[in-house]
Amino acid sequence: MKLSPQIVLAQQTRLKLSQDMLRAIGFLELSNLELAISLREITADNPWIELHLPSALESGIAVEAETPSLISHVLAQLPDLVPAPQDRSVALELIDEMDSNGFIIRPIEEIAQRSGLPIKEVLRILTALQKIEPRGLFARSVSECLALQLEETETISEEMRCVLDALPSLSRGGFAALQREVDLPEDSVTAALARLRTLNPRPAACFASSHALPRLADLVFHNRSGAWEVDVNPDTMPKATLIDPGTAHRTAGTRLSQERSEARNLIMALERRRRSLLSIGRILAREQAEFLTKGAGAQRPLTMRAVAAELDLHESTVGRIVNSGAAATPLGTFPLRTFFCRGVRRRDQTAPPTSEPAILLRINEIVKAEEPGAPLSDAGIAEKLASEGIMVSRRVTARLRARAGLGNRAERRRRHHTADPKNDLK
């Protein structure tokens, strides 16, 4: 059989996202303030669009210009590092999990479970974000932060890797404890620490605190005659209208038609964003009415998947809107993500699940009521919850306890021992 190269024609169907479609997807990922900043740049050269920005947005843009935040710095690099639109919602979630030092504060396993993606996919997106300058952002520990900075300029030696992995022992027991753990010569450990001291363990320190930027609500919840309703916040919602630029601004025919088409598509994208935001808000007003009235302890389990199914939207679309949005309520202004939480089954299968925020409050109450000299273990807390019909494992209990800012049994016992004035007399 003789093989030879041939030219073959074949038809193939392939989905190609236009620039307008990509822009519409991108709008979903932005808060009203971020959207206003983006619209100013997009509409600057299009005479067919008239942009209307409420005064609250103008003030927010001014603050952003004067004090660039870590978030705005990261968002500016996001399109290059995470180009795939389907990865953006997870990237935004990782951004939202950064603390003031630029570290990821929530376990990757938990973020993966919440996003519905395999852990390896979340790690792939995290690795891309860790290339953002300055290096060290999106680290999960000080050791990883310093390793990211080293990897940019050199190959990390085995000795340095050992020292990095053992850094927590330095803070617990000093140089001697570190050297015992790594089992390396003293001069090698000293040299490694000297190199690490030239690095920056807080790479986000050079940015303005995100708390300095105004937290502007995209939605407003209010109670009317005992029923919760929601509106798009008119004080922060940017608007764009199609206008006739007049003959003075008109360009050649082809360009004129293109500019007008871009203007119309942009306005339609803004309207789709507004409708989607409002639709999600109405479900939140219905499902989380008790939370809006009584606070976190009354929150019901609610997932983005359930909201997406009801609205016939893709879950990633809901995720993009939720991850960037905020809502004003009588209890304060909250990220939209606050309205979503997982549920924990009860012993009575006919009873509705209990939300994690409600369990957090209950764990806090259990710990406050425990005997100071005999604090409960995580298994003991789980048993108390089980006696109330809330079925959680010891491992989940430990995770929720830590999220509530409560120490483990040994830490609570030590804290009580230190605080007890009787111990000063011994």
Question: Across the 426 residues of the chain, what is the mean pLDDT of every consecutive 10-residue run?
Answer: 50 43 65 78 81 72 57 78 80 80 85 81 93 90 91 86 85 79 86 88 72 69 93 89 69 70 88 93 95 85 91 86 87 88 77 80 87 86 88 86 81 70 49
Domain annotation covers residue 68: no
**340: which residues sit within 8 A by CB, 6+ positions away?**
302, 303, 304, 322
Whether residues 25 and 43 share a domain: the answer is yes
Domain annotation covers residue 119: no
Whether residues 263 and 157 share a domain: the answer is no
Whether residues 331 and 358 share a domain: the answer is no
Domain annotation covers residue 313: yes
Whether residues 265 and 371 share a domain: the answer is no
Whether residues 326 and 388 share a domain: the answer is no
**DSSP-derived pairing of the beta strands 227-232 and 343-344:** unpaired
**DSSP-derived pairing of the beta strands 239-242 and 326-329:** unpaired
Whether residues 221 and 314 share a domain: the answer is yes
Whether residues 264 and 228 share a domain: the answer is yes
Domain annotation covers residue 47: yes
The pLDDT assigned to 405 comes to 78
C-alpha span between 103 and 54 (Å, rounded): 34
DSSP state of 333: E
What is the total count of domains within the chain? 3
**Among 354, 356, 352, which residue's Cα sits nearest to residue 338?**
356
- Give the CATH number of the domain where residue 387 resides: 1.10.10.60
Domain annotation covers residue 45: yes
Give CB contacts under 8 A, 24+ apart, made by 102-105.
102/70, 102/136, 102/137, 102/138, 102/139, 102/145, 102/202, 102/203, 102/204, 103/138, 103/139, 103/140, 103/141, 103/145, 104/138, 104/139, 104/140
Alpha-carbon dihedral 85, 86, 89, 95, rounded to 10 degrees: -70
Whether residues 178 and 273 share a domain: the answer is no
**DSSP-derived pairing of the beta strands 343-344 and 354-355:** antiparallel
Model's pTM, two decimal places? 0.56
Domain annotation covers residue 150: yes
Whether residues 186 and 265 share a domain: the answer is no
Give yes or no for a contact between 331 and 220, defined as CB atoms under 8 angstroms apart: no
Structure tokens at 400: 């929720």
Whether residues 223 and 260 share a domain: the answer is yes
**231: which residues sit within 8 A by CB, 6+ positions away?**
219, 220, 222, 278, 281
The pLDDT assigned to 21 comes to 53
Whether residues 320 and 236 share a domain: the answer is yes
Domain annotation covers residue 13: no
Domain containing 279 equals 19-56+215-240+254-336
**DSSP-derived pairing of the beta strands 332-335 and 227-232:** unpaired
| Domain final position from 336, 368, 393 | 336
Q: Which residue has the tokens 């409050």?
A: 361
* Alpha-helix runs per DSSP H in 183-331: 186-196, 253-287, 289-294, 304-311, 315-324
The pLDDT assigned to 11 comes to 45
Whether residues 350 and 282 share a domain: the answer is no
Domain annotation covers residue 371: yes
